[in-house]
Amino acid sequence: MKLGRSLFLKIFLWFGAALLTVVVGTFLVGELLRPEPFHPPMRRPLDAAVNGYARVAAEIYERDGHAALAEYFDRVEREAHIRLFLFDPQLHELAGRRTPGGASDLAQHAFLSHATEFADYGPPGLVAQPVTSTKSAQYVLVAELPMERRSAPLWDHLLHLLAIIAVAGLFCYWLARYLTAPVTKLRAATQELARGNLSARVAPAFGNRRDELAALAKDFDQMAEQIETLVNGQRRLLGDISHELRSPLARLNVALELARQRAGAEAATALQRIEREAETLNEMIGQLLALTRLESHTEAVEKTSFDLVQLVREIVDDADYEARNRNRLVQLEAPTACNIFGNEQLLRRAIENVVRNAVQYTAPETAVEVKLACSDQAVITVRDHGAGVPAETLDKLFRAFYRVDEARDRNSGGTGLGLAIAERAVRLHGGTVEAANASTGGLAVTIVLPLNADKK
């Protein structure tokens, strides 16, 4: 999913950078333009509020005394979260409340200046408002502003900014996931289709989406359905034709035997050639039928547990016996045992096709090397010492009827079905088969098989 992660990261970073720019810009502009509580334009409403508290406090004190004043201050603190203190000219706090540091000094300044004073020293957030009562008595009301009205420290601003960035990051993550998830699902379905799973569909995974990506998923499913119909029709046609050819081929063999009995010696060479071609045709039809059955899964695959080492050793012994007549060898390197759960006949045909193909193309006086490794999975490597194949054709070797150009003559090339049958049989067991040119020359085919695939 490398492409999906890359697209997700790009979208996430793009939206994240855009949101971060907006958030930081808004924060900086707000900090630059935010008025201080003791400076215009915040001074005017603050002065009016404190002046109103001062007049009410002086009136309550002169009319009802200390207890009523303390009760009024408590009510203001509960409702407005502002602490109030009333001082007389002798700097006595008339409500009997404990004053914050610097409050009496600020009250003294207000008595002397007869104007509103703000605490530019000591604890911030103090405002002193002188007031004259209806009885011409002089008082000073000191108000301690709530924390939110004070200038917050830099650390509080940074925490606020980090919280906004975290929320923005979560939003960007969700948005990136929303945009890239459909692309990832579509790519996974495309890979399934490329691996031969023609039933791969993606539209159901999109749910109730109604955007362009959902329309693309529906188009993909229509394309996949059309491809599946065409390929299945081709397979059925190929299987039917191969099956129908068996009958005339059998009659041809009977006619050939009759012709050999009646003809003279001068026709023996021609009849032998006809027989060889009939055998080749019969072999090709058998391989076509086998390939059709593997691709269409028309037959149930019965799996049992058996020793893969013994199976490979039998294949190597048979191939080596035939290879020695052509001045070649087949050598095996394998552990003592390797138990696997699968269909023994299908795997025999698959491995045998790969080994015989290697014997066909390895150079004279060389050996085909067969190695079997067994751990959590079985790995079979078949390496010849031939000319290899062009790099651009490696992924085409397991296609039906595909043959490299240099191997198209009948003496060196087969029918082009052996490796295709091997690939289908290995894939039916949940394994993989790959071909690569060896660094020192020749072709190496690697078969990887799970030891207990689909074991019930």
Residues with a known catalytic role:
243
Buried/exposed code over 160-174 (b: 16+ C-beta within 10 A; e: otherwise): ebeebbeebeeebee
Q: Please tell me what DSSP assigns to residue 247.
A: H
Strand, coil or helix: 369: strand
d(C-alpha 41, C-alpha 94), whole Å: 32
Helix (H, G, I), strand (E, B) or coil at 189: helix
* CA distance linking residue 417 with residue 290, whole number of Å: 10
- Crossing angle (nearest 10°) for helices 268-296 and 418-428: 20
Phi, psi of 299 (to 5 degrees): -115, 140
Question: In whole angstroms, what is the distance from residue 22 CA to residue 191 CA?
Answer: 40
Give the angle subtended at the CA of 83 by the CAs of 82 and 84, to the nearest 5°. Answer: 115
How many residues would you count in the chain? Answer: 456
Q: Is 316 exposed, middle or buried (0-12, 13-18, 19+ CB in 10 A)?
A: buried
**C-alpha torsion angle, residues 136, 138, 144, 149 (rounded to 10):** 60
Could you identify the residue written with the tokens 């289709």? Answer: 193
Could you give the count of Cα atoms lying within 13 Å of 85 in the half-sphere of its Cβ? 24
